[in-house]
Amino acid sequence: MNKKVGLLLAGAALILAACGDDGMQTSEEQNDVAEETEVVEQEKSNEQAASEEAETEETEESSETQKEGEAPEAISGKASELLSKGEKTSFVFNQIGEFSIFCEPHPVMKMTVVVEEGAELSGEVELDIADYEFSEETIVVAPGTIITWTNLDGAQHNVAFK
């Protein structure tokens, strides 16, 4: 029986010796792998942050461009966001015709924009919203004119199209 136990122990020792370090990593090797994994994860994190930053910059640039040069088109059923004091909204009037405008929270506030070829007003026109009124009751503009309204009231107003 002792011979059998001895042979088993010797066989186990030989098997372990044959395996060597292949199946086992030293703590130094484990640290190296951990450091490499950390570096790879940090690079991925940096790439993701750079990608998110680029997307944010692109979004900011496109919204600035829209604010500065490209107003939404004036069409029936469209309305601006509510404007607090000092805020602005713009619409471009491309279609010839008559546009009835009102303020959704205060429907008694009304005005008309007439778009016709050869009108004197064109380009960009600034109007105010003050004392619960639009600064013009009726205005005639050429196609392609951008009208910008500025809310001067403490109350919130908007520009809506019937």
User: Which of 11-20, 92-101, 123-132 bottoms out in mean pLDDT, i.e. has the lowest?
Assistant: 11-20
Q: Per-residue pLDDT tens for 46-94?
A: 556 555 554 545 444 433 333 445 899 999 999 999 999 999 999 999 9
**Confidence check: pLDDT of 23 > 90:** no
Identify the pLDDT of residue 70.
Answer: 80
Number of helices followed by number of strands (H, E) in the chain: 2, 8
Domain extent listing, the chain: 2-68, 88-161
| Four-residue CA torsion sign, 115, 73, 77, 112 | negative
Interatomic CA distance for residues 4 and 108, integer angstroms: 106
- Which residue's structure tokens are 């503009």? 141
**Confidence check: pLDDT of 10 > 90:** no
Q: Per-residue pLDDT tens for 100-155?
A: 999 999 999 999 999 999 999 999 999 999 999 999 999 999 999 999 999 999 99
Dihedral Cα 162, 102, 75, 143, nearest 10 deg = 120
Contact 79, 99 (CB under 8 A): no
Identify the pLDDT of residue 67.
Answer: 46
Pairing of strands 145-151, 124-130: parallel
